[in-house]
């Protein structure tokens, strides 16, 4: 290390040393007693624990490497479910199971820099939609570099940020106002959670290009037709992390399907108080950007 490098280190350490525990605004909280600003997040964490146990969600440990699309990828697999949407977090790859056992070894599909695993499988009508990702090399067991594959076909193009993380609950699909749609929920270290829209049209499934950011995560996010006018909206239940005395903590954020935000519902103290909970459907006339969690 030469002289200037040494001086750089000394100056940076001198600057950093000015920051002491006593100089910080927010004191270190006592155990189990968070700072005022973040008590809603702690309450949410507690709720999440109970709720997750109640609905039996579990994070799988995908370990099946995904093979490239079968040559007959355009042919949807037979639907054996009567429900419009089913989801599976099996670690096997349904599409690959249709390939002949005698097929020669092939190069695995790559998610980012590593072979893809099937993270989640969702069946919507005749389509089997797979969320693929690769285990993070740095942050296992996080799964990163998500890709979407439909009926064993090629990976969808125009995917979101390559290094986003996903899990086995990230892909949510439904039929709304006669249209087949999905939301892919992703997040990134220290950065905003973001959901991305997918839609099926005449040419198949594709990303719409719309993004729905929820900076501190969300308790629910769904595609809706709020006005019954066959125009799609996305509704997310978010929690305010900053709030003044008497202010409610929860709001429903509503975006148009193209990603433009319409506004947020008036804040309430508990998410169960949001109109229509758990299928939240705020009155469009009440939406205001001033109620939103982020600017």
Partner 1 sequence: MEKMTLPGVRAEPGGSIGDLYREQRLGLVRLAVLLLGDKQAAEDAVQDVFASLWSRRFHPDRDAYLRVAVVNRCRSHLRHRVRARNRHTPGDVPGPAPDERLALAEEHRQMLAAIDRLPGRQREVVVLRYYAELSLTEIAATLGIRTGTVKSTAARALTALRRFLEEEN
Q: How far is the CB of 167 from partner 1 (least distance, A)?
A: 4
Q: How far is the CB of 62 from partner 1 (least distance, A)?
A: 14
CB of 109 or CB of 223, closer to partner 1:
223
Overall size of the chain counted in residues: 295
Give the whole-angstrom CA distance, residue 8 versus residue 99.
59
- Cα torsion 3, 7, 13, 16 to 10°: value is -150
CB of 98 or CB of 110, closer to partner 1:
110
Return left, alpha or beta for 91; rule: phi > 0 is left, psi -120 to 50 is alpha, else beta. Answer: alpha
Catalogue the E-assigned strands of 56-170. 85-88, 110-111, 114-115, 117-124, 127-135, 143-150, 165-166
Structure tokens at 131: 């969320």
CB of 79 or CB of 85, closer to partner 1:
85
- Among 167, 195, 162, 169, smallest CA distance to 181 is for 195
Q: How far is the CB of 98 from partner 1 (least distance, A)?
A: 28
- Among 94, 101, 104, smallest CA distance to 127 is for 94
Cis upstream peptide for 278 (omega within 30°): yes
Q: How far is the CB of 123 from partner 1 (least distance, A)?
A: 15
How many other C-beta atoms can be found within 10 angstroms of the C-beta atom of residue 133?
Answer: 28
CB of 48 or CB of 103, closer to partner 1:
48
In contact, 149 and 155? CB cutoff 8 Å: yes
CB of 58 or CB of 101, closer to partner 1:
58
CB of 11 or CB of 97, closer to partner 1:
11
Structure tokens at 221: 């996010």
Pairing of strands 127-135, 143-150: antiparallel
Q: How far is the CB of 151 from partner 1 (least distance, A)?
A: 22
CB of 27 or CB of 202, closer to partner 1:
27
Give the whole-angstrom CA distance, residue 63 versus residue 107.
16
CB of 67 or CB of 232, closer to partner 1:
232
Q: How far is the CB of 69 from partner 1 (least distance, A)?
A: 27
Q: How far is the CB of 67 from partner 1 (least distance, A)?
A: 26
Q: How far is the CB of 16 from partner 1 (least distance, A)?
A: 4
């Amino acid at each position: 290390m030469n002289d200037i490098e040494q001086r750089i280190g000394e100056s940076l350490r001198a600057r950093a040393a000015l920051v002491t525990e006593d100089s910080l605004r927010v004191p270190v909280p006592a155990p189990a007693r968070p700072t005022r600003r973040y008590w809603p997040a702690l309450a949410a964490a507690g709720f999440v624990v109970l709720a997750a146990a109640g609905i039996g969600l579990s994070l799988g440990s995908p370990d099946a490497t995904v093979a490239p699309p079968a040559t007959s990828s355009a042919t949807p697999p037979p639907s054996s479910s009567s429900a419009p949407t089913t989801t599976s977090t099996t670690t096997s790859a349904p599409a690959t199971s249709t390939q002949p056992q005698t097929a020669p070894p092939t190069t695995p599909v790559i998610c980012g820099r590593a072979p893809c695993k099937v993270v989640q499988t969702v069946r919507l009508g005749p389509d089997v939609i797979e969320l693929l990702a690769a285990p993070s090399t740095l942050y296992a067991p996080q799964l990163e570099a998500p890709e979407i594959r439909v009926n064993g076909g090629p990976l969808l193009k125009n995917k979101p940020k390559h290094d986003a993380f996903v899990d086995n609950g990230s892909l949510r699909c439904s039929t709304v106002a006669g249209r087949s749609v999905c939301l892919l929920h992703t997040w990134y270290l220290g950065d905003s959670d973001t959901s991305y829209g997918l839609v099926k049209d005449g040419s198949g499934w594709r990303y719409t290009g719309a993004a729905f950011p929820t900076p501190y995560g969300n308790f629910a996010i769904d595609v809706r037709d709020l006005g019954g006018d066959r125009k799609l909206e996305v509704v997310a239940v978010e929690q305010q992390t900053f709030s003044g005395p008497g202010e409610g903590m929860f709001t429903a954020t509503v975006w148009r399907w193209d990603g433009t935000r319409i506004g947020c519902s008036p804040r309430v103290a508990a998410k169960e108080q949001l109109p229509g909970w758990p299928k939240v459907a705020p009155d469009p006339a009440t939406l205001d950007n001033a109620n939103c969690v982020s600017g």
